[in-house]
Amino acid sequence: MKIELDQFWSIADQLSPMHLGIDHTGRILSSGKTLNKMMSDTDFAQTNFFDLFQILRPRGLKTVDDLMKAEGVKLHIQMRGGAETRMKAVLAKLPNGYGAFLHLSFGISVVEAVRDYKLTAADFAVTDQTIEMLYLVEAKSAAMNASRQLNSRLQGAKIAAEEQAFTDTLTGLKNRRAMDHVLDRLISTGKEFSLMHLDLDLFKQVNDTLGHAAGDAVLQRVAAIMVDSIREGDTVARIGGDEFVFIFNGMLDRDRIKILADRLIRQIEEPISFGKEICRISASAGTTLSTCMMKPSAAVLLQQADHALYAAKGRGRAQHVFFGPGIEAEFSKPGVIADNEQKPKTA
């Protein structure tokens, strides 16, 4: 009979690589190749089933006799120690009281088991539906990974497109569209801010005498100065050829604004090299505060900063002026704006 049992266990290993054979005392007689791989540091020979496995359900199966009485019942078992892998099992008694055959499987924990024990298709019976599930899991994982990569690329493309739509291509500053968006957001949320309109003085002469390439170089240098002057959360936008708008989030201190504007003007007045040529420009600026109005309006605030800017030009350029009473009359006096500079449009 021993020869017959040995042949039986050999066949069982082919059909059920996750099987256990036990005698009437619970001693392990045979173990499938996959279990041997999973528990490579365990000597199954002469080891008792309950030393290696714990029965979770049905509850109360503590002895071999209890186990034998659960023939044909789905068992929930767990390996003791290590990864404590949970498995399903079903028991069939062998004839003539020679013991029992237990067929084991992973159930829904197969993915974790494959990962933990580095299992492959060769570790399962060729007809095991687990293989099909593994293929489905791998296909789903590959599809999900491809989907995540595609979504990431699409999100990156969307962000790049939005950034491009809000960016001035020459200077890298925000553009008018971005400025409008920031103003609308600040006004709608009720946040206080100051708005400065800055215009370059003598820029037209650079373009006329040295060409547009020189003008572009000047604008790029000026943009770099402006970026270095603002805080995180502030905005500077190029809204025209040589016109710029600053939005200082939460800054209403006139002294701080004046210091910042004066420093900007001084830095912009420093000579800018273009090849062998030297470009000299200056800047005038006008600022208004969002608190000047009970209900701030982007259009009105821009007009106020515009009026203050041209009042600064009328006072001799290269200076900064705050919007206030009488500014409209001051900027509109005849002769205060040079012939090559246009006055701002009134509403």
Which residues are catalytically annotated?
A: 242
Q: Which pair of tokens denotes residue 317?
A: 């350029």
Element (H, E) at 193: strand 193-201
Angstrom CA distances, 305 to 88, 175, 222, 285, stand at: 77, 17, 20, 8
Helix (H) or strand (E) holding 100: strand 100-105
Number of other CB atoms surrounding residue 19 within 10 Å = 21
- The answer to whether 85 touches 107, Cβ cutoff 8 Å, is no
Q: Which two tokens mark 77?
A: 């078992």
Instruction: Single out the residue of 241, 248, 167, 262 nearest to residue 199, CA to CA.
Output: 241
DSSP string, 199-249: EEESHHHHHHHH-HHHHHHHHHHHHHHHHHHSPTT-EEEE-SSSEEEEEEE
Q: Residue 302 phi/psi, 5° resolution?
A: -65, -40
Tell me how crowded residue 285 is: count the other CB atoms within 10 A of its CB.
28
45 close to 39: Cβ distance less than 8 angstroms: no
